[in-house]
Structure 1
């Protein structure tokens, strides 16, 4: 039931709308691949579900996998998911669906933490830092330092070398006040620019919104290729969670 008096809270929007064709098995989206009998998405959801400052979770899911996910939520005792919605045609559009859904349950003064279902190695400290940084500055982009030299190849054959001390890898969560990111999404829709953005922080930067960062754990990678799944599996064996 949708609440009539919407609370202000901290909401995780978990993006599970992709199929992960680069992962190598088109039959099963990568977020539903299992390790030790548990799907990757459940490992991710557990971090937010067990965090005492997260008030609700919206999952944006591949539409034909929604019944499977709903069964998994019950099986593994995930209790904070308020809604599961179908993804759109693009990742950008899918996240918009999740944001719009969140407004049905929470005040637009709430904080949203947008996270990939296939980043199962997030930690509680990073979730805390995202919430606190948004409260102070209005945004928080989880990053990780680049430690190797970056070379750019241009189409004309030229190259450029970047100083890694001046660059960060953008990861997730990417967190904002709900009313702020919704207003920018609506502006992008009016202007027809949505398809140009790789992620939320790219869109916010394009429209001049100030971005603050936090450094997340090295392990907070996106499981994209089979080798990434091995990294995740080895970490689970070492840490047990």
Structure 2
């Protein structure tokens, strides 16, 4: 059972959200974390549960193909609805698979080489060859990701929000890529923002945001925040 503490916002009574930070090709850790999530939800039945991933499934780590195979398979925790958000790395990968030279270079620079290698593909091959070799189910998964999820007092996005901009006017580019001025902003947003994108040694819980990127691909844990009513706990793999 997670060790709970007060959270900066709340969910409706009878609701629980498991929010998972940046995965970046860590397939074994993702499977282990899903096991912990399933065990926790089974041990504490009652609340309606949602398993939510904050994006950046691919790149950097060693097994992006394994992550997408897991996410498109039948082994996800039962009795939980699932919602998946897009990160900047999914946006970059899809753009590169369409073959624009600048998009290809951008994706390879930001971690795409590791993803291609996990499929046994050469970074020097043509983008059309990559697209033909990556399973259609994996590409459809990437194309079907959502930009955000809002529930209770929380807004879940990959990167963050632009301070001072009403939520309906937020740009998709900011939701998937923003760092500043979001990270240094100490004022309120319309919601408490649950995000990843910017790696830290441990989760950050601040009055206006919660950061769940703990650099799993470079040796940190893969982190899941467990949110229910007015409290938060963590699971790590």
Normalising to structure 2: TM-score of the pair? 0.33
Greater RCO, CA 8 A, separation 6+: 2
Q: Which has the higher helix share?
A: 1
Normalising to structure 1: TM-score of the pair? 0.33
